[in-house]
Structure 1
């Protein structure tokens, strides 16, 4: 969508006079920063296959706001709608305006305990959430990546190993307790405000799946592309600091704690599949896939050893 057309759509729907607009990032959707004379906003255009996730996000954020939990606020249109629909080459897309949050990105290694405490509050609060949450499948978490490898004509023996590892991971995690999960929890999706609260945003991957996945993603101290065996211990140490705060509010079972290292592997399957879904198969190479194959196989070995 051309930028002038986008500005016109936003002005009509929200009756705000945009003085400046700039693209902040583009991946799952496009995120823009807007500036009026009075204040700043963030505007997000969701890809058309994420429309259901976008509408779920509104319901979650409204619930959190009603319960005074620190999360970004959705700005309503002049018709009191939560979003607008925009036309794109891929079809109709949801566009959503958010209040801009002032503050700083947290430093997880220094603030892990206090972040853990607040995430436990989120998980407890969401136990009472009245609406049905999306549940994601093995295709979303694991099998999409395997399909990508086949389309790239990746080494069949390596695909088989990845498939076997994916099956092992899935067999373990489907036995874990389900409730609410943010789904993409890391310091890039939170801002520490002037009150010391962690204001959360980007609930696009939220689900009724595994709370322990949030703990894993928050405590992931690995390098996505380069494998070092020390990353296991680094992640364990970060988890211990995080859990010190988390466990003052709620606890995890032994199986959930062990699954933290499984979820770090699952994140590799999931992220690569998501990148391809958004940007096409041409955005990854066989060399990259080989690198990821070796990363996952080495992580599997380290987890078995520990």
Structure 2
């Protein structure tokens, strides 16, 4: 019989329950259910006393292994600095993360207490403002954090050049002229970003507005730091803008509210603000590269949209850096 070599396996909830029981001091019995399967596997875990937790099992991604060591160290630092985030829960042995065995190899697990509060609303300016404030608090706290041994730097190699290569190697964009347009746009964007005097910080990496819960005090409590790392502050800002304007959306009012919230806590340099608009292109190519790297796992039909995205990038580049809508 021929053995298949798995790209990605999904653990049974019973196995996750046993894993949590073995390593964490939660009230037993622990029951789990799968919330999300995708870039990571996310489970809701409920202790015997009704306490709710979230267990995240990292996916094996094209970038390499999850940097849970630096991520959990940063979350601990943010918690100690008073920034509202979902902090990791230590094991009985005091570890903030673990590795479990899967057929495709080791996968890292982190347990968090489930956040109270509501999901941010896409058209609520108050929620956008709250997200901006928390990101600014995060960047303030990052000034006293040393990311010792971080696996990834959110630089142009990580965010733009490697994702572009993944798009090329996946074969998803069959039209060589379209791929050439992507390369040209990426080259112009990289040149413009390299010419700026940009701030470097430790980034959340995925602050699109919905990796948060709005608590009773109106604060945005952040979670999902899987893509965090030392990088461009302008990129961290840009992810929220990208979420307002990509895939047919147009909600610049939310972007302005987000920026107002951020500036209520800390200033933004003109170069960083200008670059945030450039980084919308970087963010989009990064996402395209993430999906392209999953073509063998998810199938070409699920990632076929990538071939149509050159037009969005061309229009954004033309409008923002010729006609100046903002």
Equivalent in the alignment of 1:167? 187
Residues 68/279 of structure 1: CA separation in 2 closer, same or farther (3 Å cut): farther
5+ residue gaps in structure 1?
Answer: none
- Counterpart contact for 1:146–1:159, Cα < 8 Å: no
Once residues 277 and 151 of structure 1 are traced to their aligned partners in structure 2, the CA distance between those partners, rounded to angstroms, is 7
> Following superposition of structure 1 onto structure 2, how do residues 126-141 of structure 1 map, counting pairs within 5 Å?
126-132=142-148, 133=150, 134-141=152-159
Aligned mates of 2:200, 2:22 — CA distance in 1: 41
In the alignment, the residues of structure 2 paired with residue 54 and residue 210 of structure 1 have an alpha-carbon distance, to the nearest angstrom, of 20
8 Å CA contact 1:148, 1:281 repeated in 2: no
Q: For residues 316 and 33 of structure 2, what CA distance do their matches in structure 1 show?
A: 39
Aligned match of 2:317: 300
After superposing the two structures, state which structure 1 stretch, 164-173 or 213-222, moved more. Answer: 213-222
**TM-superposed deviation, 1:146:** 4.1
Tell me how far 1:214 sits from its aligned partner.
2.1
Q: 1:202-245: per-residue Cα shift (whole Å, max 9, x none)?
A: 1111121111222222233545333x7xx3xx43x333322222
TM normalised by structure 2 equals 0.83
Counterpart in 1 of 2:167?
Answer: 148
Partner-residue secondary structure (3-state), 1:74: coil
Match of residue 269, structure 2, among 253, 256, 263: 253
Q: Secondary structure at the match of 2:227?
A: coil
Do structure 1's residue 26 and structure 2's residue 49 form an aligned pair? no
Q: Which residue of 1 aligns with 2:23?
A: 13
Q: Write the distance in 1 (CA, Å) between the matches of 2:129 and 2:108.
A: 36
- Trace 1:225-244 onto structure 2 (pairs within 5 A): 225-226=247-248, 231=250, 234-235=251-252, 237-244=253-260
Q: How far off is 1:121 after superposition?
A: 1.7
Distance apart, 1:97 and its partner CA: 0.8
Work out the CA distance in 1 between the residues paired with 2:21 and 2:234.
41
Q: Deviations over 1:40-65 (max 9, x none)?
A: 11000012455442221110111111
| Counterpart for residue 288 of structure 1 | 305
RMSD over aligned CA atoms reads 2.3
Partners of 2:40 and 2:58 within 8 A in 1:
yes
Secondary structure of 1:289's counterpart equals helix
**Does structure 2 retain, via aligned residues, the 8 Å contact 1:65–1:73?**
yes
| Counterpart for residue 41 of structure 1 | 53
CA distance in 1, matches of 2:39, 2:223: 14
Q: Is the 8 A contact 2:66 2:108 kept in 1?
A: no
Going from structure 1 to structure 2, the CA distance change for 1:118 and 1:6 (only over 3 Å counts) comes to closer
Please identify, of 280-289 and 73-82, the stretch whose mean Cα deviation from structure 2 is larger.
280-289
The alignment covers a number of residue pairs equal to 300
Q: Distance in 2 between matches of 1:221 and 1:12?
A: 39
Match of 2:5 in 1: none
* 1:91 CA drift (Å): 0.8
Match of 2:103 in 1: 89
Deviations 1:140-162 (A, max 9, x none): 31232343234316211221111
TM-score, length of structure 1 as denominator length = 0.88
Tell whether the 8 Å contact from 2:208 to 2:239 is kept in structure 1 after alignment: yes
Give the match for residue 70 of structure 1.
84
Note if contact 1:150-1:159 (Cα within 8 Å) is conserved in structure 2.
Answer: no
Aligned-residue offset at 1:196: 2.3
What is the aligned partner in structure 2 of residue 121 from structure 1?
137
